[in-house]
Amino acid sequence: MKNGILVLAALAALVPSARADDAQKAIQAQYDKRSAAAAKKDVDGSVAINAPEFVAIGLKGDKRTTAQIKPQLTQVFASIKSYTITTKITKCVVKGDSATVTTQDAVVVVGKGTQESEATSEDTWIKKGGQWLRTQNKLLTSKIKSNKPGN
């Protein structure tokens, strides 16, 4: 009987971890969808991971909503040949239907030249209707790695 209780306690301890793993996988899938949309220069697909109340916070504390970001993305996508973003989750803390996620982004923009950059962000996510949506993106670091002029 004592061994059965220990097994149940061990299994119960795994449930939150399994939920956190499931949440991290679902959130990573959202980032991957955004990356695929950005590669196609699809503005709506690029912001589809954002909740209606989404806000992006820049390094200096400036704030932008999805409605403000969309026209900027449209302009950027129209002026470049390609845009590649790869997002890797480096930390994910899940509490119920919310998650705080730290990410590392690698971005390559090809226009008249090629610019490579990397950034670290802290994102806040909520689960609504079975789907994870990003409510906030706070940029922590941003660095241009290379800027090669084109022909």
CA end-to-end distance (rounded Å), the chain: 75
Strand pairing class (114-128; 63-65): unpaired
Q: Average of pLDDT values for 7-30?
A: 72
Whole-angstrom distance, CA of residue 36 vs CA of residue 42: 9
Query: Hey, is 118 helix, strand or coil?
Result: strand
Whole-angstrom distance, CA of residue 61 vs CA of residue 65: 13
CB 57 within 8 A of CB 136: yes
Residue 33: the pLDDT is 98
**Structure-block tokens of residue 127:** 């689960």
Condensed to tens digits (0 to 9), the pLDDT of residues 98-131 reads 999 999 999 999 999 999 999 999 999 999 999 9
Query: Which element (helix H / strand E) includes 111?
Result: none
What domains appear along the chain, each with residue ranges and CATH number?
2-148 (3.10.450.50)
Condensed to tens digits (0 to 9), the pLDDT of residues 47-94 reads 999 999 999 999 999 999 999 999 999 999 999 999 999 999 999 999
pTM: 0.85
Residue 15 binned pLDDT confidence (cut-offs 50, 70, 90): very low
pLDDT score of 147 more than 90:
no
